[in-house]
Amino acid sequence: MGKTYWMLVTTQENLDITRSHGFSMQGVDTKNRKKAVRMGPEDRVLYYVSDKKGFAATATVTSDSFEDDERIWKHHREKETFPHRVELDADVVLEQSDYIDGYQVGPTLEYVKKWPPHLWPHAFFGMLHIIPQRDFNYVEGELRRVSGESPVPHPTAEEAEPAIPLITESIAEASTTPSTDDSSIGWVYAPKSKFPVCRKSRKSSHRRRTQKRR
């Protein structure tokens, strides 16, 4: 399976806790269990800090999802321990003063188009979201730009999927020419023949009718 791109919504306090642990692990709350258990190696995580309205970091998942009830992060519900966890490697981490403004970037994302324009902030409700790769790459590029790192090139759709060469010959040319070797496109075009159809020979049928009369 291909990698999944996640947006994880957290508070500044909990992001600081993750940072203090070296971005080595991330927990997800029980409300998002069904999504959290799908996280796996090579998935990417984009951090959005809800109380600062900004994008702060990206990381790469390095383990399968597992459960652990050790209390690390804080929640207004005392019973919430963010038990669904994965191990991480940090990729880009900004200081609080450098966060990418969510109110400038958020409305431009493809993911938020699921909501009416005036309700786009609703896209950030809840802790864990699956977002398009294009959105992830765009925000991570902005994070790298602010941090002074060189952006990582990402293949375009055309580069990722090789184009199929087009046949420029007309139907008439194809019907009169059994095969055409065009070195400019590097392959041979050979029109497919029709399925064979059984036909009786008129001559043989006439011969059989003549023999019967005799």
Cβ contacts of residue 140 below 8 Å, gap of 6+?
44, 46, 58, 91, 92, 152
pLDDT tens across 69-88, in order?
999 999 999 999 999 999 99
The residue extents of the domains of the chain are 5-159, 163-192
For the chain, percent of residues with pLDDT exceeding 70: 69
User: Does residue 186 have a pLDDT over 80?
Assistant: no
Question: In CATH, what is the architecture of 5-159?
Answer: Roll (3.10)
17-31, 44-58, 145-159, 195-209, range with the lowest pLDDT: 195-209
**What does the pLDDT read at residue 117?**
87
Question: How many whole angstroms separate alpha carbon 11 and alpha carbon 5?
Answer: 20
pLDDT tens across 94-153, in order?
999 999 999 999 999 999 999 998 899 999 999 999 999 999 999 999 999 999 976 666
- Return the structure tokens found at 6: 């996640």
For the chain, percent of residues with pLDDT exceeding 90: 65
User: Does residue 63 have a pLDDT over 50?
Assistant: yes
Instruction: Specify the higher pLDDT residue, 15 or 78.
Output: 15
25-29, 71-75, 80-84, 157-161, range with the lowest pLDDT: 157-161
